[in-house]
């Protein structure tokens, strides 16, 4: 079975500073990787996804993530955060050969301070 670990439950950062949200996964088969953002009392919005090809993936709102197969990681980065980036971020995986069910990490609360 696959699993996803988000190492930081909360990440406080000042506005305009860079940020990295860490995600590691475990799976015996190939996976697709995703990052989602959730604002309070809302559903999830896709930030970016890795399916294949280039390991550096660019998403919406200036976010990017790099797939590292040897370290089984898919860390999310943004060079300069805004107050509006304050939200909950979820890393997720789905198995390539087993349908579309997502397994989520525990989430990381990004708190951007002025």
Partner 1 sequence: GAVVSQHPSRVICKSGTSVKIECRSLDFQATTMFWYRQFPKQSLMLMATSNEGSKATYEQGVEKDKFLINHASLTLSTLTVTSAHPEDSSFYICSAFTNTEAFFGQGTRLTVV
Contacting positions for partner 1 (CB under 8 A): 32, 34, 36, 41-46, 49, 51, 90, 94, 99-107, 109
Closest separation between CB of residue 43 and partner 1, Å?
4
> In the complex with partner 1, which residue's Cβ is closer, 5 or 15?
5
Residue with smaller CB distance to partner 1, 17 or 101: 101
CB of 107 to partner 1, least distance (A): 5
Cα-Cα-Cα-Cα dihedral of 75, 89, 16, 59, to 10°? 60
Q: Shortest distance, CB of residue 1 to partner 1, whole angstroms?
A: 12
Q: What is the DSSP letter of 41?
A: T
Nearer to partner 1, 45 or 55 (CB): 45
Could you tell me the smallest distance in angstroms from the CB atom of residue 100 to partner 1? Answer: 4
Calpha distance 104→107 (Å, rounded): 8
* Helix-, strand-, coil-residue percentages of the chain, each rounded to 5: 5, 55, 40
Beta strands 108-113 and 10-14: pairing type? parallel
Q: State both tokens at 39.
A: 């604002």
The residue among 10 and 68 lying less far from partner 1, judged by its C-beta, is: 10
């Amino acid at each position: 079975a696959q699993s996803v670990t988000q190492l930081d439950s909360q990440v406080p950062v000042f506005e305009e500073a860079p940020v990295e949200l860490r995600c590691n996964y475990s799976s015996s088969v190939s996976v697709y990787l995703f990052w989602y953002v959730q604002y309070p009392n809302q559903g999830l919005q896709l930030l970016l996804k890795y399916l294949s090809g280039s390991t550096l993936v660019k998403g919406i709102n200036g976010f990017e993530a790099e797939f590292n197969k040897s370290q089984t990681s898919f860390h999310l980065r943004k060079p300069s955060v805004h107050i509006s980036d304050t939200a909950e971020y979820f890393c997720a995986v789905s198995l390539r050969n087993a349908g579309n069910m997502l397994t989520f990490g525990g989430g990381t609360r990004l708190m951007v301070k002025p």
